[in-house]
Structures are given as structure tokens and as C-alpha cells.
Amino acid sequence: MANEILLKNDTAIVWADASDYSPAAGVTYTRTAQIDLTSLATAEAREGAKVDLTATRAPSYRVRFCPELNVAPASGATIEIYFGFSNSGTAGVDNPGSLTGADAAYTGTTGDTVGDTVKQLVGPFVYVCTSDLADISLPMDIGILNPTQRYIVPVVLNSSGQALEGDAVEMYLALIPIIPEVQ
């Protein structure tokens, strides 16, 4: 009998805000890393804390994003997600695109716009907004990521035309490991 290679999901890595995020509010993931998306204005970006995917990381990860906007955006507006990879576990070391490796506003490299600097990162993974996205959170799988290094820093670039919600209760960015399993 031939073996089958099946895929299974492992424990998610979840960037969310420690002060607001609430799995009790219907969110199914436990926060494991910090990013505060509270009131992120349109045309602004935020980076999350650097995370260790471990030396024996999964070969691929499902990217899932759940924003909440303050005001309904135009249908088809987007929020873009990017990732920077590093060989160092130290927050500010060996990061592309001037990433700090800490939860902070992301302004890119000196003299360049954020839109130019994110081109040094992997992405975009695009969340496409619908016009009913005000005051509700709608999670969506937005791609598959194949990590190139052990450490990772996410960047969220709000291009929706509206600010994100004034609290981050339901907002998160998750990487769900996809593990091949021989049976």
C-alpha cells in the first residue's frame, strides 16, 4: 500500500494587542506576539514584534488576517500584509527594510516612503475590504507564506481609505503552520 502525504494545521502564531485582544469575544486564536493595530490610519503602517518560527519550522504557513475598520471602506479597498525575515533573534538585528523587530509604527527607510520600503519585504498578502466592514471583524485567509529564515516580523499597511477600529478586541494576524504528514 502506498503512503499518503496529508497536511495538518499546527498551533497558530498570532499577532494581536495585549491590552485589547479578547479570544472570549468570539476570536478562536490565542495571542502569542504583539502588534497594536488600534486606530491605524489609512496610508500608515505598523510592524509587529519579531517571532521565532523555530529551527524546525513548518515549510509553509497559512496567512489569516482579521481587521476591523471604524468606518465602512469602499468595496475593493485593501490592507496589505508584508513579512521581513531575519537570521537573528535580536529585535533590531539583521532585519530588511529598516524593521525594528518591535511593535511600533513602521515608517520605512530614511528618505523613502513606506510604499517603497515594503518592496524589500515579502508580500503583499492582500486583504480585500467589503463595504460592510465597519464595526465588524471579518477574518480571511490571504495567502500561503514559505519562510526563508527562522525569525519573522510582520508589517500591516492600511490602504483601505479608512482608519482601523479604535480598539483591537477582534483584530489579529495569524500564521497557521501547515505540516506535511506521511501516513
Q: SS3 letters for 25-91?
A: HCCCCCCCEECCCCCCCCCCEEECCCEECCCCCCCEEEEEEECEECCCCCCCCEEEEEEEEECCCCC
* CA separation for the pair 153, 130 (Å, rounded): 27
* CA separation for the pair 93, 20 (Å, rounded): 29
CATH topology of domain 11-182: Jelly Rolls (2.60.120)
CA-CA distances (angstroms) from residue 18 to 27, 33, 49, 63, 129? Answer: 14, 8, 12, 20, 25
pLDDT of residue 26: 59
Report the predicted TM-score, pTM, of the whole model to 2 decimal places: 0.93
Residues of the chain with pLDDT under 70: 1, 23-27
pLDDT of residue 158: 96
pLDDT of residue 25: 56
